[in-house]
Amino acid sequence: MTDISFLMCAPDHYDVDYVINPWMEGNIHKSSRDRAVEQWGKLCHLIKEFAVVELVQPEKGVPDMVFTANAGLVLGNKVVLSRFYHQERQGEEPYFLAWFEQKGYEVFQLPQDLPFEGAGDALFDREGRWLWAGYGFRSELDSHPLIAQWLDIEVLSLRLMDNRFYHLDTCFCPLTDGYLLYYPPAFDSYSNRLIEMTVPAHKLIAIDEADAVNFACNTVNIGHRVLMNKTSDRLKQLLNQAGFEVLETPLTEFLKAGGAAKCLTLRVTEPVTPNKNEKITIESRTVEMTGHLLDSGVINRALDVVAESGGSFQVLDFKLGLQKHSISQAKIKVSAPSHDVMATIMGQLIEIGAVQPEQELQDVCLADVIQNGVAPDDFYVSNIYPTEVRIDGIWVGVQKQRMDGAIAISYSAKNAPIATCKLLRDLEIGEKVVVGVEGIRTMHKSEAREKVQKEFSFMGAGVSSERRVELIVEQIAWELRQIRDRGGKVIVTAGPVVVHTGGAPHLAYLIREGYVQVLLGGNAIAVHDIEQAVLGTSLGMDMQRGVSVSGGHRHHLNMINMVRRFGSIKQAVKVGMVTSGIMYECVQRGVPYVLAGSIRDDGPLPDTEMDLIKAQTAYADQLKDTDMILMLSSMLHSIGVGNMTPAGVKMVCVDINPAVVTKLADRGSVESVGVVTDVGLFLSLLVSQLKKLTSVPALV
Ligand SMILES: NC(=O)c1ccc[n+]([C@@H]2O[C@H](COP(=O)([O-])OP(=O)(O)OC[C@H]3O[C@@H](n4cnc5c(N)ncnc54)[C@H](O)[C@@H]3O)[C@@H](O)[C@H]2O)c1
């Protein structure tokens, strides 16, 4: 007689009584008890041909008890009892506990608030080499280290992504001889990589969606037999080729509750294979966060970062600030399936302001630059927030903060450490660069509840937001006046759309009246501005009459040619060829401008810097000590500028495309404002608002 036993539970009380997975949706009380009994009976009968079936008494009020795979996870004489995620199933726990105890198993119980749903989410490699364990919907990643320890086995954690396949055994089935039947889209990319690295390609049997939704992975594997609800001819053929006999038995009534053959059984005789040992790659860290955590959504962002990157979290402590201005504190335990995933999560958490508890703090890790312009592997990528790094137990502020750089450490004459953000291309052999995520923290202004709305939509559909754009323009006008009056610095980055939409005279006004201290753009803003100033057309269109002018398509080339003849825009202004417009005002007011070249540039103008590294450096030089940046309809240059700018500088991004505005304004800082509108209209509103303020005495 076989020594393989399965635990089953007759469907006496089975029904779909509630909805805890997508399969149950619309199926409440829709399953037929008679048909369920008949289908379960056939499965039981089939299994009995090859194995022993043991039964647990069905109980009233726990209709899902029929799915015994979720009773616990058995290995040898040990069982890790399930801790159900949903209250609806928690009533099953004592019945299964009683059964295991009565049978003499050594029972391990997880802490009350640590869900783990037994063999539904944990499947042994059929050679007994390791345990595949799922998390993401029903079981917590933090349960895996305990299971590894109790069962003394290596655990490979897999993250489930598709809520139709909420348990590992709905989309994954290890088979005899090291084969693996699985549905890859149900897992995140890290898990798919882990599967592919662990199981040789010729042993992987990937199924398609049609088979997956028929629960083809929810299979009972006994030797070289696979018992399942239903399979396609293609899959049957693949399984046959791999040496398996497929036995189908309809289980449609149970599919209505999201289960099939495997869910209805629990293998209670899992042999312990020698040479296994507890090995777990899961890492856990604790982080602390302080600030207006709820109002600003920071706490949600932090938890999303953990979950979306493949980790799991436990909020250990949360102290809510009770007054409007008081701050909250949170302590969160973060777990990740591997060191790499943990590093990714920690990098993002540091960016949002999370810190490690004092007692766990370490100094930064440093690695040498061994090739000019190349950072060591695993270098820490800087962000826009003021950052500090811990060296010899002391926090050192990072200079020249910017996005997407590396943090290089040097020492002063007095041997004091100096930390500086550097572009990869500027790194030199012998320098030391911060790697990993230890000993790094970022500073954030607390984002209080009265923070401004981040995005204002003017042209967008839905609620009329015209008044809201007017309000934000009033606010920007007021700030521009303040900055001008106190001698501050405003930078405009602008694209040619400013000219096409009739905004050039308004931008020229801003420059003339001293509201703009630097202009950053490309070839096009200057070319089209000069075309309009000299010929009255923009891309060949008469700006007054709105009609195209014969031969107008050549206008901008004529202008480029003219400026090239004079050698520079400045010279063209000086000789009186250009007498109005944006560039004219820049030259007349001595406002510096940098025109960065691009592949699509015509000409280019002699002033356009076609060496991009030089252009980037010139932009960065101009961006020092800026109070506000107005980004006007140039995705290319605005994104470039955004990356070079540290937090704390107010950025106003105006673009007709909400996606561009969101990308630029959503830097997670209070200082950014996005305005979705036509840039010509925006500039016209801004100028009329500033004109209204002319009677206001100087704001100093
Ligand atoms: N003839 C030339 O030499 C020439 C012509 C065009 C562009 N270029 C160069 O190409 C590069 C990219 O040009 P770019 O910055 O114009 O392009 P871009 O695509 O980076 O940005 C244009 C932005 O304007 C937005 N926009 C369009 N209509 C708008 C409106 N009515 N109101 C508000 N926003 C609006 C778009 O959504 C887009 O985000 C630059 O370096 C530029 O100098 C050169």
- Strand-pairing partners, residue 280, are 155
Which pLDDT score, from 0 to 100, does residue 68 have?
Answer: 98
Residue 214: what pLDDT?
A: 95
Give the CA-trace dihedral at 58, 62, 66, 67, to 10 degrees: -140
Interval between CA 634 and ligand 1 midpoint (Å): 5
- What DSSP letter does each residue of 478-524 carry, written as one string? HHHHHHHHTT--EEEEE-THHHHTT-HHHHHHHHHTT--SEEEEEHH
Q: Which two tokens stand for residue 160?
A: 């489930």
Distance separating alpha carbons of residues 524 and 506, to the nearest angstrom: 18
Question: Using a 6 Å cutoff on CB, does residue 524 contact ligand 1?
Answer: yes
Task: Give the C-alpha separation, 608 to 541, whole Å.
Answer: 24
Residues known to be catalytic: 167, 263
Q: Indicate if ligand 1 lies below 6 Å from the C-beta of 29.
A: no
Nearest CA to ligand 1 atom 6: 524
What tokens were used for 207?
């199924």
Q: Is 388 in the pocket of ligand 1 (CB under 6 A)?
A: no
Q: Which atom in ligand 1 lies closest to the alpha carbon of residue 601?
A: 3
494 Cβ closer than 6 Å to some ligand 1 atom: no
Atom of ligand 1 nearest to the CA of 521: 43
- All residues at 6 or more sequence positions from 640 whose CB lies less than 8 Å from its CB, including other chains: 596, 616, 619
Q: Which atom of ligand 1 is nearest to the CA of 608?
A: 43
Q: Is the CB of 655 under 6 A from ligand 1?
A: yes
Q: Best substitution site from 499, 633, 654 to test ligand 1's pocket, by max atoms within 8 Å of Cβ?
A: 633
Predicted local confidence at residue 451, as pLDDT: 43
With a cut of 70, list the residues of the chain below it in pLDDT. Answer: 1-2, 274-279, 324, 446-467, 666-670, 700
State which H helix or E strand residue 683 sits in: helix 679-692
pLDDT at position 295 is 76
Cβ of residue 503 lying under 6 Å from some atom of ligand 1: no
Strands 52-55 and 5-8: parallel
Q: Measured between alpha carbons, how far is 427 from 420 in angstroms, rounded to an integer?
A: 11
Give nearest CA residue, ligand 1 atom 3. 601
C-beta 639 within 6 A of ligand 1: no
With a 6 Å cutoff on the Cβ, whether 310 touches ligand 1 is no
For ligand 1, the distance from its centroid to the CA atom of residue 638, given in whole angstroms, is 10
Q: What is the pLDDT of residue 281?
A: 78
The Å distance, Cα 570 to ligand 1 centre, comes to 24
pLDDT at 547: 81
Nearest to 447 by CA among 586, 289, 313, 567: 289
Q: Give the three-class secondary structure for 171.
A: coil
Q: Which amino acid is at 161?
A: M
| Top mutation candidate among 500, 600, 611 for ligand 1, by most atoms within 8 Å of CB | 600
What are the DSSP calls for 584-647, one per residue?
HHHHHHT--EEEE--TT-SS--TTEE--HHHHHHHHHHHTTT-SEEEEES-HHHHHHHHHHPPT
Query: Global pTM?
Result: 0.74
pLDDT of residue 624: 93
Tell how far the Cα of 268 is from the centroid of ligand 1, in angstroms.
Answer: 66
548 CA to centre of ligand 1 in angstroms = 20
Question: What would the pLDDT profile of 379-438 be if each residue is shown by its tens digit?
Answer: 999 999 999 999 999 999 999 999 999 999 999 999 999 999 999 999 999 999 999 999
CA–CA gap between residue 191 and residue 218 (Å, rounded): 19
103 Cβ contact partners less than 8 Å away, ≥ 6 residues apart: 268
d(CA 114, CA 151): 17
Q: Which residues pair with 520 in a beta bridge?
A: 493, 594
Strand order in the sheet with 78-81: 72-75, 78-81, 106-108
Q: Are 206 and 224 in contact (CB under 8 A)?
A: no
DSSP designation for 380: P
Backbone phi and psi for residue 227, each to the nearest 5 degrees, phi listed first: -105, 120
Examine residue 357 and say whether the peptide bond preceding it is cis (omega within 30 degrees of 0). Answer: no
- Around 536, how many Cα atoms within 13 Å sit in the side-chain half-sphere? 7
349 C-beta closer than 6 A to ligand 1: no
